[in-house]
């Protein structure tokens, strides 16, 4: 389930950075990470494949099953966001009009819609339908 706000994590990103942990075994997730890399104008994002063993050692408190379900973002204070809220945190780091997109979250109903859309897309990553059955 996506967090509505940050949770404390023992692990931390590098100072002044956001660690964006994505599923590098998923073609859609790798493509999305490249879109984020191209979109980022903050130079504050570390896009990290959570399957990397060194990375798992850096973030030992993150649940591998939860990482498989949703994108995770961790800041340098140990705050953790998941799913659509993680996407919002990425947007909040951006400068100019790109950063303004983060404020859509505060429009009535937007957070709910973003979360539902994120979950729909996440369920289909490995060819599953909306009920989680393999297609």
- Could you tell me the domains of the chain? 7-123 (3.40.30)
The pLDDT of residue 133 = 40
Token reading at 4: 């509505």
Which segments of the chain have a pLDDT < 70?
Answer: 1-10, 127-135
The closest alpha carbon to 99, from 111, 114, 85, 89, belongs to 89
The pLDDT of residue 127 = 63
Q: How far apart are CA 16 and CA 26, in angstroms?
A: 28
The pLDDT of residue 123 = 83
Q: How far apart are CA 113 and CA 100, in angstroms?
A: 18
Q: Where are the alpha helices (DSSP H) in 13-109?
A: 27-39, 53-58, 64-69, 83-92, 97-100
The pLDDT of residue 2 = 45
The pLDDT of residue 10 = 65
């Amino acid at each position: 389930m996506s967090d509505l706000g940050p949770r404390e994590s023992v692990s931390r990103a590098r100072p002044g950075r956001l660690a964006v942990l994505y599923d590098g075994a998923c073609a859609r997730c790798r493509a999305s990470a490249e879109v984020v890399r191209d979109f980022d104008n903050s130079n504050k994002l570390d896009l990290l494949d959570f399957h990397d063993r060194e990375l798992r050692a850096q973030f030992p408190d993150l649940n591998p099953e939860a990482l498989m379900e949703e994108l995770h973002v961790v800041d340098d204070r140990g705050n953790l966001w998941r799913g659509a809220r993680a996407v919002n945190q990425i947007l909040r780091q951006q400068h100019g009009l790109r950063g303004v997109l983060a404020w859509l979250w505060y429009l009535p109903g937007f957070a709910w819609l973003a979360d539902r859309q994120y979950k729909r897309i996440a369920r289909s990553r490995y060819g599953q339908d909306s009920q989680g059955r393999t297609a």
